[in-house]
Chain A
Amino acid sequence: MYVIETDKLTKVYGDIIAVDHIDLKVKKNRIFGFLGPNGAGKTTTVLMLLGLIQPTEGRAYVNNIDVQEKPIEVKKISGYLPSENGLYPNMSALDNLLFFAKFYKIPRNEAKKIALDLLDLVGLKEVAKKKVGEFSTGMKQRLALAQALINDPEILFLDEPTSGLDPKGAVEIRQLIKDLRKEGKTIFLTSHILPEVDEVCDSIGIIVNGKLVAMGSKEELKRAFLNEKVRILVEIEESLPDLSEFATDIKLFTKNKAMIYAKADIRKELFEYLNSNGYTVLDLHLMEPTLEEIFLKMAYGEEPVLEKITEGER
């Protein structure tokens, strides 16, 4: 059961294909990280999922609702945080939230209570009546998140939620995102900050030049990456013997410590070889690929690996 699903979703602006036939699938109560370099098509995809932009081709479904047919229904169950916060600077934090609450026909008193609770959640209750124009970037971003939550949405679309924030502000926003997932919300997060996606997201989609080049859980992506290139750190008490028959490449750190590059996980074979030849193995472990490595491989590597890693997600 997918909360967000697209079928060959495409957006063309003149000669530029901003989003190119992407098939997204996001499960309920997940934090889905939509990774991609600047201008890759992340925001355009989000705007199409929210019904703010009409796709040139393809369909998008949010909670099984056809976005093109019933955009208002989608908006009722969604919250959106844009990268540029999108708040009215001449209005107070509270008035901003009360203004957006009006679109959900929430009675004034109830709306005020919800707004104050949200301001409390994002740590802005003390400055509820202060004009947004006087807020710092971090405060604006937190308020923008509160704005996205005004209708208690099932699905949150967060477009670069930590852009322009200092490290402390970014940590706070990430924690809030994790807390929202615990409340049962599905979060669609776009970012180009890899450690952030690595820390927060359960599953990831990588978009490059409008094309979805990879999608799956972090584990699936790593597994797919390991199928391509495996690194094993080996350290023994004695000097290392010739291990070239096992490796595609070897990087020697010291005479008894090296990184072995192979096409598959050969730890067992390596251990047996070293052990049977009387070497004392001090360390032998698989080096997990970082998300950065996966991203660079998927985004800029030559061979597409999408088919391999989406199996698990399906």
Chain B
Amino acid sequence: MLMIIAEKEFKDYITSKRFLLIFGFLLLISIVSIWQGYNIYQARLENYVAGKTKFQPSIFDIFTQVRNYLGLIGAIFALSLGFDAITKEREMGTLKVLMSHPVYKDQVILGKFLGGALTLGLSILIMTLTSLGALLILGVQIDGESLMRIILFMLFAYLYLLLFLGVGMAFSALSKNSSNALMYSLVLFLILMIIFPTIAPMIGEHYAGDAPQQPQVSRKEDPHAWELYIKNYMKWQQKRYGIENKINSFSPYYNFQQLGSYILNPYKSTQSNLPIIQRVISNPQLAQVLRKSGIVKIELEKYSLSQSLSFATSHIVLLIAPLIMSFIVAYVAFMRSDMR
């Protein structure tokens, strides 16, 4: 019974105009992003070959934009599949008819989950194959580990989309009608994509207090004052980003972005803390001091895939936990609802 419903849902999804439109857009924007990423990759490769930089370009350079767009449009795509999965059937009266046949209630909701999951699975598969095809056409050399990183990233992208499918279905199970479910989904989307990234740095800055004042004298004149300043500055930055990251970790979008960075970028680790280094480097005077003092390690080490995964563990957990939660909420809400 479960498979009968899942099969119907899958067919309904992949033949719907909504799916074709949003997925088509997502695919198109991914291809354009890969093209943009490829240009960045090529420029960095030329610099690396010419010895201008020690950093070898990675697939991360190509997939950064894909990760960003997938995080935004992918979430809309998955929400659009889930938000009216139940309310639409209620509104059309088809749920009552379906339930009047010998089928258990849980088979209906699980069949719908499965149908949606299969649809997202197919979408991610198409996106992965398209991305790899684009890299082949562009002549990018992909080694085994980079291929594994891409596949793993797409797998986590799938989990990320499943999370939003679950959220959409939970709203659908809890709402009286599709317009309400759509409204709740949009509000949540805006909170995650706009409110969180806006509020988190503000709270971080507020909590960390004022930044330490830069010494008014040069380092030669007072090296001790500069050393103290750098230490305090780093401490301040760590406090600020610590709070910011903690707030952001409630957002699946942030966790997916971080997860994507760790998996796609072999140079990223939890120790490197790129935002802090970038801030310091953006201050030329500080950068000069840092290069000499060695207080902050700027040279990046290349990590293995298993190491990258271990760095991403907390983000993986924070992505999977709400995914399970959303499915449980949708399941319980549907099971408790009456077929009125």
A50, A88, A90 pick with most chain B CB within 10 angstroms: A88
Chain A residues with CB under 8 A of B8: 99
CB distance A82 to B338 under 8 Å?
no
CB distance B97 to A87 under 8 Å?
yes
CB distance A86 to B101 under 8 Å?
no
Residue B219 interfacial (CB < 8 Å): no
The interface size of chain A toward B, counting residues with CB under 8 Å, comes to 31
The interface size of chain B toward A, counting residues with CB under 8 Å, comes to 22
* Given A103-B1, A104-B102, also A82-B12 (CB < 8 A): no
Residue A75 interfacial (CB < 8 Å): yes
CB distance A78 to B100 under 8 Å?
yes
Residue B96 interfacial (CB < 8 Å): yes
Residue A255 interfacial (CB < 8 Å): no
CB distance B97 to A147 under 8 Å?
yes
Chain A residues with CB under 8 A of B97: 80, 82, 86-87, 100, 144, 147
Residue A85 interfacial (CB < 8 Å): yes
Residue B92 interfacial (CB < 8 Å): yes
Q: Which listed residue (A47, A76, A85) contacts B339, Cβ 8 A? A: A47
CB distance B102 to A76 under 8 Å?
yes
Report the minimal beta-carbon distance from A16 to chain B, rounded to whole angstroms: 11
For the complex, give the distance between the alpha carbons of A170 and B183 in Å.
Answer: 39
Give A101-150 interface residues, CB cut-off 8 Å to B. 102-104, 144, 147
CB distance A82 to B96 under 8 Å?
yes
CB distance B96 to A80 under 8 Å?
yes
What total count of A-B pairs have CB within 8 Å? 66
CB distance B99 to A85 under 8 Å?
no
For the complex, give the distance between the alpha carbons of A75 and B101 in Å.
Answer: 6
Query: Closest residue to B104 on the A side, CB-wise?
Result: A72
For the complex, give the distance between the alpha carbons of A47 and B93 in Å.
Answer: 13
Residue B321 interfacial (CB < 8 Å): no
Q: Which listed residue (B4, B94, B100, B103) contacts A80, Cβ 8 A? A: B100
Query: Closest residue to A54 on the B side, CB-wise?
Result: B338
* Given A53-B338, A76-B102, A100-B101, also A87-B96 (CB < 8 A): no
Q: Can you list, as one digit per residue, whether each of A31-48 has a CB less than 8 Å from chain B (1) or not (0)?
A: 000000000000010010
* Given A72-B104, A75-B102, A84-B92, also A52-B339 (CB < 8 A): yes
Residue A164 interfacial (CB < 8 Å): no
Report the minimal beta-carbon distance from B236 to chain A, rounded to whole angstroms: 55
B1, B95, B101, B338 pick with most chain A CB within 10 angstroms: B101
* Given A52-B96, A53-B340, also A90-B101 (CB < 8 A): no
Query: Closest residue to B339 on the A side, CB-wise?
Result: A52
CB distance A88 to B94 under 8 Å?
yes
Query: Closest residue to B12 on the A side, CB-wise?
Result: A90
Residue A89 interfacial (CB < 8 Å): yes
Report the minimal beta-carbon distance from B270 to chain A, rounded to whole angstroms: 49
Chain B residues with CB under 8 A of A78: 100
* Given A102-B4, A103-B1, A103-B4, also A52-B92 (CB < 8 A): no
Q: Which residues of B contact A (CB under 8 A)?
A: 1, 4, 8, 12, 15-16, 92-104, 338-340
**19 examples of A-B residue contacts, CB within 8 angstroms:** A47-B339, A52-B96, A52-B100, A53-B339, A72-B104, A75-B103, A80-B96, A82-B97, A85-B93, A86-B93, A86-B94, A86-B95, A86-B96, A88-B94, A90-B12, A103-B1, A103-B101, A144-B97, A157-B100
Closest 8 CB pairs of A and B: A86-B97, A84-B93, A80-B100, A86-B93, A52-B339, A103-B101, A75-B102, A72-B102
